[in-house]
Chain A
């Protein structure tokens, strides 16, 4: 699984969402989007699930989180590459 990263931590709303949407629109099958953000985008979560995406949020500090977003059908693939702490990227 390939990782595509975006950093929205220094953007003002609604730019983070615009960046995330644009990145998701371009995300190929089998790829995972990694979003670096200052806070958890709570209201986005349910909308992601409704639209067929899955996510995993890693909270590092108060104002530093990593959000992994991938297609629900890629769940097994994501779990294969992510051990709960680190993501092992492959290009295959």
Chain B
């Protein structure tokens, strides 16, 4: 029995993960405005300052933000234990982190030294505090398992991403480290560790749990669960020595994951239509398409040599954009559609253990987020994703992408707010009935 008052294996209060979830779409809305006001020039190179602001808005402002909130919930559910002092740590790290991402985005656009310094300090403190709390759980307290081991590798990757990011920011301020010099390898490793190590390995590890749990799918094959995350992690380290070889294997590993996803989804016992499953299928199809695009001969990307009616655009930008938008963002959005109503419902349900009659107040789970509205979000996502690809081919279409992005993430934000409002109104009803 819990005597100390610390609730390690209980779910943290719902407002803690929700503040991370709610912040995510706001950053993408900011990104959409950035695209709208940056014009065509934004799409000419990955090194454009506004492009750096955009990629960090997506990866830190949305992807990492939502994953930070989700991990707070996932650790108690999967490992049986959550972080210590969740309210203090989640509130502080969230506030510092949000301010840090805003400062970082502005530091790319405006290039003021004080903004760079603010981003460096705020992100180090915000992410550092959050990481320290998660690492404390992952090192000391938690049960073993393939997903948990994957979480460990993802968190190590995030630590490396943060350290390299701090190094890059410090370098912009004029501080240098004697044994390290700024070159493309550092930024490539920073980006790859973030996209494949942190986001990619975390998604893969989460899929081992989420598909059997939410969709009654069979477990992924044991060798996939045991070796996929580790292999990717090792390949990331080899990337600095054998860049092309390890990158090829990273793509192939994701292809194997995609085939496994299709197989597991196909083996579900209850094949009810489900938007989250559509998102997983979209993500898997994306990984297969990325393999095709990666292994296409270089001539496809050269205007005079291409066998197609037009050459493919910059390979790095095309592949990265598709990986982020159609794979990472798709999975995260699909997960949000699943966990927003589930969390709201399950938090209310747990209150009924003390008073069973309160069950009468809890609405149907789909009332928190209806299937139709979730499906609408999915189609908006596919459409905005296609417009993103179109912009990479033809930058003058940026207004279409910006508008579709804006509509999609305002819609997601509205769905989240509605879900939260319903939760709090039902919670209030239960409180009132307990008092009377």
Q: Which residues of A contact B (CB under 8 A)?
A: 10-14, 17-18, 21-22, 24-25, 38-40, 42-51, 53, 62-63
Contacts and interface: CB of A to CB of B under 8 A. Distances in A.
A13 B214 contact: yes
A18 B356 CA distance: 11
- Report which residue of B10, B80, B345 has the largest number of chain A beta carbons within 10 angstroms of its beta carbon: B10
Interface stretch (B18-26, B347-355, B402-410): B347-355
B269 A10 contact: yes
Contact of B346 (A13, A46, A63): A13
B365 interface: yes
B9 interface: yes
Nearest to B349: A17
A44 B342 contact: no
A17 B353 CA distance: 10
B136 to A, nearest CB: 18
A39 B7 CA distance: 20
Interface of B: 1-2, 7, 9-11, 76-77, 79-81, 212-216, 219, 269-270, 342, 345-346, 349-350, 352-354, 356, 359, 365
A49 B8 CA distance: 13
Given A24-B356, A42-B80, A63-B219, A13 B213 contact: yes
Given A11-B216, A14-B345, 17 more contacts: A10-B270, A12-B215, A13-B213, A14-B342, A14-B346, A14-B349, A14-B365, A22-B359, A24-B356, A25-B359, A42-B81, A43-B9, A47-B350, A50-B353, A51-B354, A53-B353, A62-B219
Nearest to A39: B213
Given A21-B359, A43-B76, A38 B270 contact: no
B11 to A, nearest CB: 5
Contacts of A46: 2, 7, 9-10
A16 B365 CA distance: 13
B257 to A, nearest CB: 20
Contacts of B349: 14, 17-18, 21
8 contacts: A13-B346, A14-B349, A21-B352, A24-B356, A39-B213, A42-B76, A48-B353, A63-B219
B212 A63 contact: yes
The 6 closest A-B pairs by CB, nearest first: A25-B356, A42-B80, A51-B353, A46-B10, A43-B11, A47-B350
Nearest to B352: A21
A78 B212 CA distance: 32
A46 B214 CA distance: 22
A40 B80 contact: yes
A24 B354 CA distance: 11
Nearest to B1: A49
Contacts of B342: 13-14
Contacts of A44: 350
Nearest to B356: A25
Nearest to A47: B350
B10 A12 contact: no
A28 B293 CA distance: 63
A68 to B, nearest CB: 16
A22 B1 CA distance: 24
Nearest to A43: B11
Nearest to A54: B1
Contacts of B1: 49
Nearest to B215: A12
Given A44-B350, A49-B1, A12 B214 contact: yes
Nearest to B365: A14
B329 to A, nearest CB: 24
Contacts of A63: 212, 219
A49 B10 CA distance: 11
A21 B76 contact: no
B67 to A, nearest CB: 19
A12 B353 contact: no
A47 B346 contact: no
B317 to A, nearest CB: 39
Nearest to B339: A13
B337 to A, nearest CB: 13
A24 to B, nearest CB: 7
Contact of B10 (A17, A21, A43): A43
Contact of B9 (A14, A17, A18, A42): A42
A20 to B, nearest CB: 9
Contact of B353 (A13, A24, A62): A24
A13 B365 CA distance: 10
Contacts of B214: 12-13
Nearest to B75: A42
A44 B353 CA distance: 10
A30 B243 CA distance: 66
Contacts of B219: 62-63
